[in-house]
Structure 1
């Protein structure tokens, strides 16, 4: 039986991945801020008594460590850790109030990824196996206007996972970077622009689980966005700038909106 730990599991990609792994018979440790949503998700899964919920903010690194320790004690081993917690919001550097939003995006999307992996590495080294999975985005391949924080954070996830992959390969640990295109989740439903190759979250989760099982180092899902991503990498800056100068912007968090980022 696989033992799988997933952050950002209360909705979106994290919840879809939880449903996918539960359907395969895995025992799950699910972490997110919204405890009630986690409990509802677990109640809907096969063999709900097998799984554990941890109502924790991924930016509280000590609490993440405690949740990881508790799940390791419950499961006895760890096979897959997926750092799926993430936030997407538009930022513009010219607005001073966006700097705090920028810092929060980096904390959730990048630093929390490392904080999620760190508690499990010793156990994986002792086993001589395991998968650490970072969730990036095609937005991390080239910078997009109006998405400075999001693009920068996902580019950082890609580079971070690559560094970690090289470090941990001799220990038998695979580091997998999953790079989604547009996936139908509550996060993308806020986008007020056309999203090519939009994929249902369940279809994404199935393909992601297959890539993780294979131990792929890097996988763009859906594959059509993988083709687009390769082309974007090849474009000279002048051509890219011309093509994307007027690209639609992500909505900024209003300076009057006092709600925390998701």
Structure 2
């Protein structure tokens, strides 16, 4: 694929963690970055940090679960900036959804953000990118997408949806000039993972994970998995027979 130059980017879920780090990483490399999220004060702090480094980050108040407003806002940004080159659907939430104590409210909250919100974010600008014959859409899935993790059915399923959605987009958009990347992080230090009360093998520092994401995006990689120590067994689990997987999952739980 031909090299692509990036001028503008939108990153959702930019108030903390990977989204915040990636927004700053891209801005420091000369992109005009629209950092989207619900917590405006944290976005403003990010913008100030970027400005101090001579970079440009513009806060965008956005709740991806409000899909009509999300579509309208992203399309408006696309028009205002002369076309978004890069859109990263990073906003995501987690939480326990154990089948023995299943709460629809928790399941719905995960689906609204990780599935509906992500799909709306990517759908908002794809037609314009195809028309311009340039652009790049990125979905941040998870290594949890490969099998249904014990106690986290809604989260695993939501990330599996995004992975499959991105795969279909990649196939459909071949030859259009629009790039598609799906990222599968493992455990990364963030607000999301600090709430976990279970072992997190090969936990990565945020900065190291962001660097891998940023470089993978700019290289135009179709898929990106990290850390390899967790990515390899996670992918192999896909072909493990159900009885073996179920027994292992129960022990981990």
TM-score clears 0.5:
yes
Among residues 60, 64, 72, which one is paired with 1:58 in the alignment? 64
- Kept in 1, the 8 Å contact 2:88–2:137? The answer is yes
**Which 10-residue stretch deviates more, 164-173 or 45-54?**
45-54
- Equivalent residue number for residue 11 of structure 1: 16
Cα offset for 1:48?
7.1
Distance across 1 between alignment mates of 2:82 and 2:54: 18
Q: How does 1:159-198 map to 2 (within 5 A)?
A: 159-198=164-203
Distance across 1 between alignment mates of 2:56 and 2:75: 17
- Kept in 2, the 8 Å contact 1:129–1:171? The answer is yes
- Equivalent residue number for residue 82 of structure 2: 76
Cα offset for 1:168?
1.7
- Equivalent residue number for residue 155 of structure 1: 160
What SS is found at the alignment partner of 2:175? helix
- Kept in 1, the 8 Å contact 2:47–2:56? The answer is no
Distance across 1 between alignment mates of 2:40 and 2:231: 35
Cα offset for 1:230?
2.5
- Kept in 2, the 8 Å contact 1:93–1:99? The answer is no
CA RMSD of aligned residues (A): 1.7
- Equivalent residue number for residue 92 of structure 1: 98
Runs of 5+ in structure 2 lacking a partner?
1-5
- Kept in 1, the 8 Å contact 2:46–2:57? The answer is no
> Within the alignment, does 1:128 sit opposite 2:133 as a pair?
yes
Among residues 118, 127, 130, which one is paired with 1:113 in the alignment? 118
Cα offset for 1:79?
1.4
What SS is found at the alignment partner of 1:169? coil
Distance across 2 between alignment mates of 1:95 and 1:224: 32
Among residues 203, 212, 216, which one is paired with 2:221 in the alignment? 216
**How many matched pairs?**
247
Among residues 199, 202, 210, which one is paired with 1:205 in the alignment? 210
TM-score by length of 2: 0.92
Among residues 217, 221, 233, which one is paired with 2:238 in the alignment? 233
TM-score by length of 1: 0.89
Distance across 1 between alignment mates of 2:46 and 2:56: 13
- Equivalent residue number for residue 146 of structure 2: 141
Distance across 1 between alignment mates of 2:54 and 2:157: 37
- Equivalent residue number for residue 256 of structure 1: none
